[in-house]
Structure 1
Amino acid sequence: MEIIGWIIAIVMFIIAFIGLVYPIIPSVIFVVGGFLLYGWIVTFDGMNWLFWIIQILFVVLLFGADTLANIVGVKKFGGSKPGMWGSTIGLLVGPFVIPVAGILIGPFIGAVLAELLISRTDFKQSLKTGIGSLVGFLTSIVAKGAVMLLMIGIFIFFVA
């Protein structure tokens, strides 16, 4: 059963990493799901209260990382609140409208359109805000990937 537990946990972790670039997949839920499924299939013995406190703190950090990276990216490049909202909407809609490339093009277009249509900024500033949304998104991917790797490393440390 231990091999099956590891296989299922690893599959869950892989899905979580796919979720980094496809935001409709809730990455952090798949990481925690991997821990829980491993525990139910094999054992929860190694996952003590310290393990769960550490993991919960990382989960909170991951939820905040997305929002913070988007806000910082758009704000750093001179964007407004509508630019942030446009970027977020573009991030969610983009992959469905333009498969694969939509994950990068969506936030950019969303931020640019929101700046142009709602904030009434000039085209040059709108493009700058769009670039900021891309920088924020890419920074978020790297930061979340690093935190998820750390979470998985801690999991291995506690259960192995």
Structure 2
Amino acid sequence: MDFLLLILGFVCVVVGVFGSFLPVLPGPSISWVGIVLLYFTKAVPANYWILGISLLITIILTILDYVIPAKGTKKFGGSSYGIWGTNIGLIVGIFAPIPLGFIIGPFVGAFVGELIHDSKDHQRALKVATGSLLGFLASSFMKFVVCMMYLGLFIWIVYQNSTSIWNQS
């Protein structure tokens, strides 16, 4: 059972890394579940400090993941139309059969949203769409860094407890 939990935990952490770029998957949350699964094994003693701090980081990052793209849109002069366009574009971009739709969708959504708000100011709409894109990229980068830290933490914990893990399996 410990070996199964170890493998499932590792899969979760790796899927979390991919989820840091794919908006469909909550990357940091999945990575955190991978770390929790590791602590469910009998071979790894529970460390509530690591679990608590990593959970707090995951919660904060999840909240920021929704705030940063909207703030990026607003920072570049976006209206509520641009923010709604960003969110709708993200959803459409995820399911659209185009490469990198999850990046292109929010950009186009913010642009279209701002054009609906003010159809004469193309320059402003482009500026707002760029802000949306930068917000999305900043958010994705933060999630990627945290997920890579969780992957490193997972590997480090396995390494620290490797004797007891392999003797139990």
One-letter identity of the residue aligned with 2:13: F
* 1:24 lines up with 2:24 in the alignment: yes
SS of residue in 2 equivalent to 1:21:
coil
Q: Which stretch of structure 1 is more off in the superposition, 132-141 or 73-82?
A: 73-82
* 1:69 lines up with 2:85 in the alignment: no
Aligned residue pair count: 158
One-letter identity of the residue aligned with 1:51: I
User: Looking at both structures, which has the greater relative contact order when contacts are Cα pairs under 8 Å and sequence separation is at least 6?
Assistant: 2
How far 1:68 sits from its partner (Å)?
Answer: 2.7
Give a deviation string over 1:121-141, Cα, whole Å, max 9, x none: 511111111111111111111
Equivalent-residue separation in structure 2 for 1:84 and 1:47 (angstroms) = 42
Q: Which runs of 5+ in 1 are unaligned?
A: none
How far 1:22 sits from its partner (Å)?
Answer: 1.5
SS of residue in 1 equivalent to 2:99:
coil
With over 3 angstroms needed to count, the CA separation of the structure-2 counterparts of 1:31 and 1:65, relative to structure 1, is same
Q: Counterparts of 1:48-127 in structure 2 under 5 Å? A: 48-117=47-116, 119-120=117-118, 122-127=121-126
Percent of pairs identical after alignment? 34
Equivalent-residue separation in structure 2 for 1:135 and 1:43 (angstroms) = 44
* 1:14 lines up with 2:32 in the alignment: no
Query: For the Cα contact (< 8 Å) 1:108–1:133, is it kept in 2?
Result: yes
User: Please, what TM-score do these two structures have when normalized by structure 1?
Assistant: 0.84
RMSD: 2.2
User: Please, what TM-score do these two structures have when normalized by structure 2?
Assistant: 0.80
With over 3 angstroms needed to count, the CA separation of the structure-2 counterparts of 1:66 and 1:44, relative to structure 1, is farther
Task: Please identify the structure whose Cα radius of gyration is greater.
Answer: 2
Give a deviation string over 1:67-121, Cα, whole Å, max 9, x none: 232123212221122211211221122121133321111001110111111x225
Give a deviation string over 1:37-90, Cα, whole Å, max 9, x none: 2233x2384332212220121111211221232123212221122211211221
